[in-house]
């Protein structure tokens, strides 16, 4: 009984794996979507639009709550990929918004100085546009770290039809502890989620600051220009 109501090391591992996969998948999707939107904006730059249709579609999709998607996912497929997809769904939109905001933000005098100095378009893209979008990606991932932990619980409520290695997770343990009225078990899971949030944010900042040697980009991403 104890092993069902109390979280184990395996539960922490499984939840962390799902979280990592979801964040990575969501960041890649957000980057692809932002790139596609940028290309679309370039293609449509001479068309005057009151509302950009692409943005409207994404504003519609990002308003759908992750938890409300669980029944839909259960109707379609109950496997590990659907859990990754659900976490990625929650991560994609804030990351896309952050990249988009950075991309569209104009540094008027910098743009003017670069263009006036005779730089080619591809040099401006490399030195100005892409680093600007990259800092949006970093900002978006930082925001998404917390959102992904929230969505892990919703994703783990989908269930598992094939018991095995992937059977478990902190989200399950919260539900089991709740059903058996084990309030200390619920609190233990909540504490573990908080701890994982602190550790993951610390590791992310360390990775960006030290390993990637991008202190400046990180500083801008956190404090603005």
Residue numbers at the binding site for another protein (CB under 8 A): 107-110, 112-119, 123, 127-128, 131, 135, 214-217, 219-220, 225
Min dist. Cβ of residue 46 to another protein (A): 15
Nearer to another protein, 3 or 123 (CB): 123
- Report the nearest approach of another protein to the CB of residue 124 (Å): 9
Q: Residue ranges of the alpha helices (H) in the chain?
A: 2-5, 9-43, 53-62, 66-76, 80-104, 108-116, 121-124, 130-156, 170-179, 183-206, 215-223
Least CB distance to another protein at residue 120 (A): 8
Closer Cβ to another protein, 158 or 217, answer by number = 217
Q: Which is nearer to another protein, 50 or 117 (CB)?
A: 117
Beta carbon nearer to another protein, 46 or 60: 46
C-beta of 114: minimal distance to another protein in Å? 8
Could you tell me the smallest distance in angstroms from the CB atom of residue 216 to another protein? 5
Q: Are 82 and 160 in contact (CB under 8 A)?
A: no
Q: Which is nearer to another protein, 57 or 113 (CB)?
A: 113
Angstrom distance (rounded) from CA 26 to CA 94: 10
Please enumerate in sequence order all residues whose Cβ is within 8 A of that of 220, keeping only pairs 6 or more positions apart, or say none. 135
Task: State how far Cα 186 lies from the chain centre.
Answer: 25
CB-CB neighbours of 211 under 10 Å: 8
Task: Assign 203 to helix, strand or coil.
Answer: helix
Nearest to 89 by CA among 72, 64, 59, 57: 64
How far is it, in rounded angstroms, from Cα 211 to Cα 207? 5
Task: Return the number of the residue (76 or 116) whose C-beta is nearest another protein.
Answer: 116
Shortest Cβ 211–another protein spacing (Å) = 17
């Amino acid at each position: 009984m104890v092993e069902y109501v109390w979280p184990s090391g395996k539960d922490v591992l499984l939840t962390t794996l799902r979280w990592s996969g979801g964040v990575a998948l969501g960041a890649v999707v957000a980057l692809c979507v932002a790139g596609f939107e940028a290309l679309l904006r370039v293609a449509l730059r001479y068309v005057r639009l009151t509302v950009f249709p692409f943005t409207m579609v994404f504003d519609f999709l990002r308003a759908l709550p992750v938890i409300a998607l669980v029944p839909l996912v259960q109707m379609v497929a109950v496997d590990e990929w659907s859990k990754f997809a659900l976490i990625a769904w929650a991560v994609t939109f804030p990351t896309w918004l952050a990249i988009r905001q950075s991309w569209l933000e104009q540094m008027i005098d910098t743009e003017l100085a670069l263009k006036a100095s005779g730089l080619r378009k591809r040099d401006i893209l490399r030195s100005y546009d892409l680093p600007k979008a990259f800092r949006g990606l970093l900002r978006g991932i930082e925001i998404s770290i917390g959102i992904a932990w929230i969505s892990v619980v919703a994703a783990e409520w989908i269930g598992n039809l094939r018991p095995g290695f992937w059977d478990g997770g902190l989200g399950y343990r919260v539900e089991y502890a709740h059903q058996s009225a084990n309030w200390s078990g619920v609190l233990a899971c909540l504490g573990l989620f908080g701890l994982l949030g602190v550790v993951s944010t610390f590791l992310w900042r360390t990775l960006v600051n030290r390993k990637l040697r991008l202190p400046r980009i990180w500083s801008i991403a956190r404090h603005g220009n």
